[in-house]
Amino acid sequence: MDQLYSQIEELSKVGFPTQKLKELYQTHQISDLLELLKFTQQNKDQFNKTIAYLDALFQDSDIYKELLIRENSFEFVQTLLSHQNKKVRQLLSECIENNDFEFGQLISKLVQEKSPLLNLVLQVIFFQLSDPESEVGLKALRVIKKLFKFVDESLKTLLSSELFVTYITQGLNNKNEVIQLRFVEILIYITNLDQAIQQPYNNLFKIVFKLYNTDDILVKLNMIELIAGMGNSKWNSELMVNQSFFKNILNSAFTNNDDFYTQKYEVLLVARMLSQRVIKFTPILEKNLIKLLSVWLSTNSSEQIEGALEIISSFVTFTEGFNTIIKNSDFLILFFQYLYSTKDVIKLKALNCYVSFFVIDSTTPKPPGKVLWVYSLFGNVSKTLSQFHSNDQVSEATIYLIKQLNTPFGEVEKTILELTMNLLEWDEIFTNIIANQQLLVYFSKISQNKEIFDSKNRVKQQIINLCTNKYKAEEYQEYAKTLQNLKLQKDVQYASNVQ
């Protein structure tokens, strides 16, 4: 062990260079890593260097798979999961989070192969979700959401399987209410993904509603935020609307002015359920919503502004809500000013909200002319709020869009890519965007990180798909070929992790 540690100490001085790291790893077994943890745990400096070495191993795209998903990984993984030091326990969730897309594909593969290793992977995830340390548990929560953001048929099978239901049931029955709340959040998140996934969990919602009806104020405050998430799917909204306490929420949403936090999530739930068309959009609801949101957007309170933006984001996804917002010019002026806010958090919230204006409503289609008008205001709302737009204004909006894609701020770029994905679904906006040659220049630039690289690649593939299968004219086919031949650039720092 002395010799192994001495080599680790030398490598730590130069930042664990990849080739040297691989060479050292290949000369030792997984059992040696277990010994190393025991050997160094009495010396803080040595232990920290050991953790740094393990962290470097987990960051290598080849090594982490060998450490986590081999027949002889079980003891090593269990040791990390149950280690008394939270930094050691976090190594696994950080590894999965950093490789979420690839890990999601791996889980799909294990499901298809009916591999016994699948249970080991799930143990890693759920053991950490049940960790008493909030830092570890919340990281695991983020990991699960990222893993199951894009669900294929294999993952649907997994999420509705008896094995997964068992893990969720155990978590919901945990005696620690903080841990229970994490499992409530995951339950709502995964059941929102698909109605077929929801069905085996129906009985578990009794536990959720029981938690909401608790006398514990802190738990109740957390629960109103979590159950507001049920409004993100029609089937969970239908479960909610049939609960006796929902009438109380509906009644207090616009009168509960003493408690902003509770009111925000009550109104958010109402807005989401309106968008699912589970409750009727009455003139009184319309009036109350616009009045309340106008007050919040007009304040100096960042909390109220952000709350209003989050509610508008849900409200404009359905056509009736979209039409209500855009017919009120004073309200639009209030909203658009935050797209250019100097406060980064508020600007990002407003951009995320703007993305929702362009969501397709398959039940009652949004009027394309109005959608185009809302886009024409992007970057130039101060010029006009006339209900008419010119081609020049649409082109100016595209210039502004591409300028925002070239931002140095990663979170803004990621949101603008999401906005672009939605904009591509609208014919006139699509043709305007691809007519701007600066888009090709943007695609040729190096991505800031792996997440942006993946998002950029999705936008690129969607444009190629639309040019090839929807528009089909020769100029679109040529554009598709040009884009197909344009290789996205990977930053050298994470290129090895990008497939």
What's the pLDDT at 250? 87
Q: Tell me the backbone φ, ψ of residue 444, rounded to 5 degrees.
A: -85, -10
Tell me the C-alpha distance between 137 and 185, whole Å.
Answer: 12
Cβ distance 357 to 371 under 8 Å? yes
Q: Quick check: 193 and 149 in contact, CB under 8 A?
A: no
Geometric angle at alpha carbon 371, from 366 and 373, rounded to 5°: 145
Separation between Cα atoms, residue 273 and residue 241, nearest integer Å: 9
Task: Supply 289's token pair.
Answer: 């919503």
Q: What does the pLDDT read at residue 465?
A: 95
Alpha-carbon torsion (273, 275, 279, 283), positive or negative: positive
Radius of gyration of the chain (CA): 25
pLDDT tens per residue across span 111-137 = 898 888 888 888 888 988 998 888 888
Binned at pLDDT 50, 70 and 90, residue 241 comes out as very high
What is the residue type of 428? E
Do 350 and 338 meet the contact criterion of CB atoms below 8 Å apart? Answer: yes
Give yes or no for residue 493 having a pLDDT over 60: no
**pLDDT tier, 495 (very low <50, low <70, confident <90, very high otherwise):** very low
pLDDT tens string 436-459: 999 999 999 999 888 899 899 999
pLDDT of residue 320: 92
**DSSP-assigned states of every residue in 104-164:** HHHHHHHHHHT-THHHHHHHHHHHHHT-SSHHHHHHHHHHHHHHTSS--HHHHHHHTSHHH
Over the chain, what is the mean pLDDT?
Answer: 88
Which of residues 164 and 149 earns the better pLDDT score?
Answer: 164
The single-letter code of the amino acid at 272 is R
| Diameter of the chain measured on Cα atoms | 76
| Percentage of the chain lying above the pLDDT 70 cut | 95
Tokens of 321: 């809500």
pLDDT at residue number 102: 77
Joined together, the tokens standing for residue 42 give: 């009495």
- Where residue 195 falls among pLDDT bands split at 50, 70, 90? very high
Residue 328 CB coordination number (10 Å):
14
pLDDT grade for 494, boundaries at 50, 70 and 90: very low
Side-chain-side CA neighbours of residue 388 (13 Å): 1
C-beta of residue 61 within 8 angstroms of C-beta of residue 497: yes
Those residues with Cβ within 8 angstroms of residue 469's Cβ, 6 or more apart along the chain or in another chain: none
Q: Tokens in use for 489?
A: 């650039």
Share of the chain above pLDDT 90, in %: 53
Confidence label for 302 from pLDDT (cuts 50, 70 and 90): very high
Please tell me the distance from the alpha carbon of residue 462 to that of residue 420, in angstroms, as a whole number. 10
pLDDT at 124: 83
Segment 390-408 shows an average pLDDT of 89
| Least confidently predicted of 92-96, 314-318, 350-354 | 92-96
Q: What is the pLDDT of residues 468-486, one digit of tens each?
A: 999 978 999 999 999 999 8
Each residue's pLDDT tens digit, 57-93: 988 878 888 887 776 777 888 888 888 888 888 888 8
Phi, psi for residue 399 in degrees, rounded to 5? -60, -45
Checking if the pLDDT of 496 tops 50, the result is no
Q: Where in 234-338 does DSSP place strands (E)?
A: none
Least confident residue range of 25-39, 65-79, 355-369, 432-446? 65-79
**What's the mean pLDDT in 275-295?**
91
**230 — pLDDT class (breaks 50, 70, 90):** very high
Torsions phi, psi for 489 (to 5 deg): -95, 135
Say yes or no to pLDDT of 388 above 90: no
Q: Which pLDDT value is given to residue 491?
A: 56
pLDDT at position 385, please?
Answer: 56
Contact 274, 318 (CB under 8 A): yes
pLDDT at 498: 39
Tens digits of residue pLDDT in 259-271: 888 899 999 999 9
> What's the Cα-to-Cα distance from 37 to each of 163, 256, 478, rounded to whole Å?
32, 54, 58
The pLDDT of residue 381 is: 57
Q: Which range has the worst mean pLDDT, 51-65, 347-361, 370-384?
A: 370-384
Residue keyed to tokens 């010019």: 329
Residue 386 has a pLDDT of 56
Q: How far apart are CA 379 and CA 393, in angstroms?
A: 9
